[in-house]
Amino acid sequence: MGATTYLKNIQSPEDLKKLPIELLPLLAAEIRELIIETVSRTGGHLAPSLGTVELTIALHYVFNSPQDKIIWDVGHQSYTHKILTGRAERFSTLRSHGGLSGFCRRSESPYDAFSVGHSSTSISAGAGVAAGKCLNGDRSKVISVIGDGSMTAGLAYEGLNHAGDLKKDLIVVLNDNEMSIAPNVGALSNFLSRKLTAKTFQDWRNELKGMLRPAPNIYNLFKRMEESFKAFVTPGMLFEAFDFQYIGPIDGHRLDHLIKTLENVKNIGTPVLFHTTTVKGKGYEPAEKNPSYFHGVGSFEVATGSCRSSGKKAPSYTQVFGDTIVELARENKKIVAVTAAMPEGTGLTPFHDEFPTRFFDVGIAEQHGVTFAAGLATEGFRPVVAIYSTFMQRAFDQVLHDVCLESLPVIFAMDRGGLVGEDGPTHHGAFDLSFMRCIPNLVIMAPKDEDELRHMLFTALNHNGPVAIRYPRGQGLGVPLSGKPCLLPMGKAEILHEGDDVVFLAVGRMVCEALEARKLLAERGVSAGVVNCRFIKPVDGETIAEVVKKVPRVVTAEDNALMGGFGSAVLESIQESGITGVRVSRVGLPDRFVEHGAPGILRSKYGVDAQGLIKAATNLLNDFPLKSNG
């Protein structure tokens, strides 16, 4: 990035306020350049943050953070917020291990009022903060910023409903950059929004309402006239129904309009919905043309927007899943696909293109998506619900109560299982094996490679009950893909290699690490067996018993939390078998939230790689050197 004129002097929002309004567009241009240059190297959420540069400047220009709490939803739009709050010099470390998080974190800065990562939480959190401030006698402001996509989640409306009823001093900023909920944007609407928020108008409005309340008929007539007028020039009646005063829509890239209107909104003192319209990817042509691709992007060439590639790669697990479900759906017309606002991320775009009437995107509404799929299953369909592991957490009750209680044949394709890297603790799929394993009637599988994923999907679709298939982010191992998917024996593990000294019982991507560990141990004269256990539930107790009778030194391997995970299942199985004298070392993720960083760094740090397995096996051999249990 070239030398900056204005940004270099801003270490906090107080420095920002020293700039005259007419210079703020120049500051916005410098911030955009820094965001584009940084994300081109680190990857990240580019298009959403480019769309909120002016809005963020206006919020920090008008309000007094961190005393006034600005709560961001998801955090996709918060890069400018980080830059303006003392983190510009460290912005180059974005999403790097030990560097800045890609999301807002309370532990990172006092300006980050609420830690975020999953969408649609800002209104509920803001309502709680506003209620707490009221109880404390604190008159500072609370501003919740939420995007139009996040407004598709039920949690957002639960928050609106309660916040409107509380009638606390809460400002909700709706950043509308995609949905068609603002058909009346224009000069008249912008003009009226600024005038209707002016203090003189608000004082007159409230005084008139107070005078008319003793005459209910006249008061109701006045209220209906006001609502009719607003409905004609703005799209805000939905929010008025929640007892929010609706203001907008305002052009989210006109700093003078934003600042003037926000200064007026600041003084209203009751729940307000401030609607602003922005352009996703604003200021960077490739991102404006393809905002979906640049929503969350890897490293890229700034000049062209093209991905920085290291050559030909194996297909990703996501791509293999997407291709396989299309292949199977051509033969089985009862297969339908459901996703929660992630058709591209889950690999379902080809399915949508070929079977548009059998594809359902429910928006950011995982709970609804799962119960919706359960309803489809009762009508004889085979729903495949593709949701990232981290987001499946949000639908736990629906999986348990609406699907598994009656053993409905719904398939959960859980992408991004295990460590996902730079998105960090809010996005690691570190808990799915644990929280899914406790649910009755549910079969849980994890493929060792992308070809086995194809067989697992076919097997799941032929099983008369619920199945979860958990697979990792990123490219596969590059193994050849077999012709047609075939049935796997339900609940049966696969012995890949026999061993005399130690045995690795592994699931998912950890099978590959176990095979590498076996090879390296062989160079030291250690004979290690490897079992691809495939099924986390039902775990293959018969094969486990057979193996541990021969080799009583066992290392379990999973990229999941150790508490309640696959290793726990193995311990339970051995205990239930009555076999004694078996020594088990469990390799997996510790009882903590794993930070963000490159996947290789994290796997090495937490020992969920070949070297971690070698260490566990070596410790077992040193502590228990006997060749058998007698």
The answer to whether residues 427 and 535 belong to one domain is: no
198 and 345 inside one domain:
no
Nearest to residue 446, comparing CAs of 422, 467, 462?
A: 467
pLDDT of residue 183: 38
pLDDT for 238 equals 80
Task: Please give the helix or strand (H or E) that residue 610 lies within, else none.
Answer: helix 610-623
Choosing from 30, 54, 240, 366, which is the catalytic residue?
366
Read off the pLDDT of residues 468-505 as tens digits, 9 standing for 90 and up: 999 999 999 999 998 899 999 999 999 999 999 999 99
Helix, strand, coil shares of the chain, percent, nearest 5, are 45, 15, 40
CATH code where residue 531 lies: 3.40.50.920
Among 289, 309, 333, where does a domain finish? 289
Extract the tokens encoding 104: 């807002």
Question: Which pLDDT does position 221 carry in this prediction?
Answer: 63
Both 456 and 549 in a single domain?
Answer: no
- Match 């009719």 to its residue by tokens: 228
Q: What is the mean pLDDT of the chain?
A: 91
> Which candidate in 82, 260, 280, 437 is catalytic?
280
280 plus 212 within the same structural domain: yes
Tell me the CB-side half-sphere exposure of residue 135, using CA atoms within 13 A: 7
Q: Locate tokens 């309640």: which residue? A: 564
508 and 429 in one domain? no
In a domain, 250, yes or no: yes
Binned at pLDDT 50, 70 and 90, residue 624 comes out as confident
Cα–Cα distance between 21 and 18 in angstroms, integer?
9
Whose CA is closest to 183, among 242, 236, 239? 236
Residues 280, 339: one domain?
A: no
**Residue 90 resides in a domain:** yes
The residues that bridge with 557 in the sheet, in sequence order, are 506, 587
Percent of the chain clearing pLDDT 90 (strictly above): 83
> Among residues 438, 472, 506, which one ends one of the domains?
472
Do 462 and 349 share a structural domain?
yes
In a domain, 486, yes or no: no
Task: Quickly tell me which residue has 């929004």 as its tokens.
Answer: 193
| Residue 185 pLDDT | 38
In whole angstroms, give the CA distance from residue 417 to residue 471.
5
Active-site residue flag, 394: yes
Could you tell me where the beta strands, DSSP code E, fall in 90-208?
142-147, 170-176
Flag whether 300 is in a domain. no
**368 assigned to some structural domain:** yes
pLDDT in tens, 334-353: 999 999 999 999 999 999 99
- What does the pLDDT read at residue 463? 98
Contacts of 93 (CB under 8 A, 6+ apart): 99, 100
In 367-522, beta strands by DSSP E: 382-388, 411-417, 443-445, 467-472, 494-497, 502-506
In this structure, is residue 297 part of a structural domain?
no
Q: Which of 423, 439, 472 is the last residue of a domain?
A: 472
Given a cut of 70, whether residue 333 has pLDDT beyond it is yes
Give the CATH number, domain containing residue 206. Answer: 3.40.50.970
- Helix 24-42 × helix 53-62 angle, to 10°: 130
Statement to judge: residues 81 and 227 lie in one domain: yes
Q: What is residue 44's three-state secondary structure?
A: strand
Cα–Cα distance measured from residue 208 to residue 405, given in angstroms and rounded to the nearest whole number: 56
Q: Same domain, yes or no, for 366 and 501?
A: no
Contact assessment for residue 323 and residue 350, using Cβ atoms and an 8 Å cutoff: yes
The Cα 22–Cα 145 span in angstroms is 24
Q: How many residues does the chain have?
A: 630
* 296 lies in some domain: no
Average pLDDT (393-402) is 98
Token pair of 421, please? 């890297």
Instruction: Name the active-site residue from 105, 194, 260, 394.
Output: 394
pLDDT tens, position by position, 498-535: 999 999 999 999 999 999 999 999 999 999 999 999 99
Reported confidence tier of residue 311, pLDDT bands at 50, 70, 90: low
Task: Report residue 81: phi and psi, to 5°.
Answer: -55, -45
59/108 same-domain check: yes
Q: Are 101 and 596 in contact (CB under 8 A)?
A: yes
103, 117 contact by CB (below 8 A) = yes
CA distances from 228 to 198, 236, 273, 382 (A): 20, 11, 18, 46
- Active-site residue 524, yes or no? no
pLDDT tens digits, one per residue of 193-231 = 454 555 665 565 566 556 666 767 666 665 666 655 555
- Give residue 149's pLDDT: 86
Question: Structural domain of residue 412, as residue ranges?
Answer: 317-472
Q: Do 383 and 242 fall into the same domain?
A: no
Residue 583 catalytic? no
Q: Is residue 307 part of a domain?
A: no
**pLDDT tens track for 535-591:** 999 999 999 999 999 999 999 999 999 999 999 999 999 999 999 999 999 999 999
What's the first-to-final CA gap in the chain, in angstroms? Answer: 68
pLDDT band for position 192 (50/70/90)? very low
pLDDT at 206: 64
What pLDDT, on the 0 to 100 scale, is given for residue 292? 85
Count: domains in the chain = 3
565 in the same domain as 614 = yes
Which residue shows structure tokens 């176990």? 514
Count other C-beta atoms under 10 Å from residue 201's C-beta: 12
User: Tokens at residue 324, please?
Assistant: 């396989």
